[in-house]
Every structure is written in C-alpha cells, then in structure tokens.
Structure 1
Amino acid sequence: MKKAGIIMVIGSLLLLGLFKFPLWNIMLGAPQYPDPLGMNIYIQGIKGVSEFDLQNIDGLNHYIGMKVIPKPEDMWEFSVFPKVIIAMVILGVIIGLLGYFEKVSYKAFLGWFVFMSLLGVMGMYDFNNWLIDYGSDLDPHAIIKVTNPDGSPMSYKPPLIGFKKLLNFDVTSLPHTGGYLMFVGMFLTLVAFWLGKKASLKKATQ
C-alpha cells in the first residue's frame, strides 16, 4: 500500500494547480479579430487571455444586451470553489498518508475519487447554468436584436465544451492547464486504488 498511498498524495496535490492555472478557456474568433479574444476561467475569477480581451468582449456584448463578465465578488462560486479544492486536497493527502501506513483500506481512494467526481459534475452543471443565463438573459433594449428563423430571440450561450458558431464568431470552449492537472490528479487516485487493491489481494494470499 505504500506506493498506492504516495500516488494518492501526488494525485491530490495536483489539484493545487487550479490556484495557478486556468480551469477553463473560452476563445472567440471572427474576421475582424485576427487575434481571437479569450477568457481564462480560474476557480477564483475570470481573466482575459490578453490584456484588453475582457474589455473588448464586454464592449461587443453590450450591443446585443449581454451582461458584463462577472467579477469575483459577483459570483459566490469564486469564493466557495477555492475552499472546496483545498478541502479535497487535504482530505486526499490524509487518505494517502493513512494508506501509506496501512491505516485505511484502498477503498478510501475510490471513495475520494467518486466524491470528487460528484463535485466536478455539480460544478459543470453550475457552470452550464451560468452560461445559459449569460447568453439568454439579454437586455430587451439592446442596440442589436438578432432572432432565430422562427422569430424567437437568439441565445448567445457559449458551448460548455467544444465549438459553436455564434453569428460571425467561432467560439471554442475547452479545459485549460488547471483542468488537465485536475483530471490527471483524479486519474492518479484511480491508479492508487488499483495498486492498493492489488497489494491487498497479494497480502491476503500470503
């Protein structure tokens, strides 16, 4: 279980990368913007990929009635998510150390992974709801009003993940470095579970 415990600790610590690197990235490209505009979404707030990207995106959004990009103090998620990540890192390290000293079953590694996965699904659901509100709750007095062929108001919701065409903008939404570090860390906890199970079965047959 020693190797499994060490890998569990490493996997948990990789989540700390979310405090340094963006979790998600949304890029907007159009003919009038040879250099695409972009937003990097951190667990503590949203920053532009380049210095004036957020200002330019808010300027474009104003014409179609979209809300301004929220500041950290405007969304409870940006104060809660960092606390959740810290708690999961501490919990993962404790479980890993207990596993290293064989004070806990390898099943605890899987329990951490399942719990973290549930939190991730809840976070993605919340993020998607924010995108829906951001792209659909438009100012009725906006300068530009674009509708669908049936006359209903067009939604400017960016994709949760992948590519979408919004008017003349090509919008791409994908995980960023912090997100990939989190995925790798979670995968390592599965590796720790597998190694712990293998070690326990070996010990039981001796």
Structure 2
Amino acid sequence: MKKYKISIVSKVLLLIVAALFVGSLFVPMWQIQLEAPQYPEGLVLQLHANKIGGDVDIINGLNHYIGMATLHTENFIEFSVLPYVFGAFAVISLLLIFNAKRKAVLWFLISYMLFIVLAAVDFYRWNYDYGHNLNPDAAIKVPGMAYQPPLIGYKQLLNFGAYSIPDTGGWMLTAAGLLLFVIVLKEYKFNKEK
C-alpha cells in the first residue's frame, strides 16, 4: 500500500502550525471580561497556558462576598500540564514535516480536535464548580442564583455582564487547527493521484 507524502506547501503550513503552538505559550489563551456600573473600565480574568492573570485579586475579593472560592493558579493541575501539551503539539507538527505522511497529519488533526473537546468540557466543569459550589455563609445570598460564567459568549450575572472569549493564544490555537484542517483537505481532496 502506497504511503502518500504531503506537499512542500503543507510542510510550510506545518511549520507555521508549530510556531502557533509555541507562540500560544507566551500570551493569554482565554479571557473572561466583567463589566458593571461600579467598574466602568471593566475587569478581566486571563487564562494563560501556565497561570491565571489579569485582575485576579479584585475578582477574588468580589467573589468572596457571593461565596465563590478564590482563584489560584496552583489549584488547577491544567496549568502544570498545558505547557507540555502545547510543546508536544509543536514537536509533533515539526516531526510531521519529516514524516510527511498525510495519514499521520489526519490523525494529528483528529487528536487535536479531541483535545479541544476535552479542554472545553474541563473548562465548563471549572466554571460550573466555581459558579455553583458557593459558601453558604457568604455575605450576599440570592436564592436560586448561580454565578457560572458562560463557556463562550455573554451572560448576565447579577449586575455584572460576563464575556467569555478567546484571547490572543486562543486565536493562535484556532488558527493552528484551521491550518491542520486545510492541510488535510488539500492532501486528501486536491492531491488525489491520477
């Protein structure tokens, strides 16, 4: 059975994919923006591959009043693991340039899509846990109210509007996935042997 090799263009795109995975390690991947009348400039929680950043102390102070647990990087194993995951994705992208088999690229795309689904489920679980498991002795209690921010998009939480959207690193990871899809499409649909 013939092993189909990928084109030079696809190899260049894989090099860009590797650079996107590495680049995503140095910028925030995701952000949750909070807007309220008392904070006209807004507050932002930024999730990097290895830490929580942004207005963490202010947000933790506000969350204390409604009984939410405080956010600390060391409480999440994901921040220890993600840098290695994205580093491995970058190395795999580079190895695929030399391996040059289109089936290997297809399997990498499938694996990356599965990772995205698992990451989304994990992020949802995070948000659910922090928004629903509230301290019963909190200063502010609203019966039936949960404070789970949206997985993606907008949600009103009392007087705060919460926007959950990709940050620079998230867009880089999206671009990496799209380029992998383009490579697979190009190699399977447009490079069929005559």
CA-based RMSD of the aligned residues comes to 1.4
Query: Hey, what does 1:143 align to over in structure 2?
Result: 139
Mapped to 2, the partners of 1:3 and 1:163 lie a distance apart of: 39
Offset at residue 82 of structure 1 (A)? 1.1
Query: Hey, what does 2:161 align to over in structure 1?
Result: 170
Query: Hey, what does 1:186 align to over in structure 2?
Result: 177
CA offset digits 1:166-186 (Å, max 9, x no partner): 000011000111011111111
One-letter identity of the residue aligned with 1:157: Q
Mapped to 2, the partners of 1:200 and 1:35 lie a distance apart of: 51
1:114-129 superposed matches below 5 A: 114-129=110-125
Mapped to 1, the partners of 2:47 and 2:72 lie a distance apart of: 11
What SS class does the counterpart of residue 5 from structure 1 fall into?
A: helix
Mapped to 2, the partners of 1:31 and 1:120 lie a distance apart of: 35
Query: Hey, what does 1:195 align to over in structure 2?
Result: 186
Q: How many correspondences in the alignment?
A: 188
CA offset digits 1:62-103 (Å, max 9, x no partner): 1111111122x221111011111111111111012321xxxx
2:25 and 2:86 in contact (8 A); partners too: no
Mapped to 2, the partners of 1:160 and 1:61 lie a distance apart of: 18
Larger radius of gyration: 1
1:4 aligns to 2:6 (yes or no)? no
Mapped to 1, the partners of 2:28 and 2:98 lie a distance apart of: 28
Consecutive unaligned residues of structure 2, counting only runs of 5 or more, are 1-6
1:5 and 1:98 in contact (8 A); partners too: no
Q: Which runs of 4+ in 1 moved over 4 A?
A: none
Query: Hey, what does 2:92 align to over in structure 1?
Result: 91
Report the TM-score, using the length of structure 2 for normalisation: 0.92
Report the TM-score, using the length of structure 1 for normalisation: 0.87
Consecutive unaligned residues of structure 1, counting only runs of 5 or more, are 149-153
Query: Hey, what does 1:133 align to over in structure 2?
Result: 129
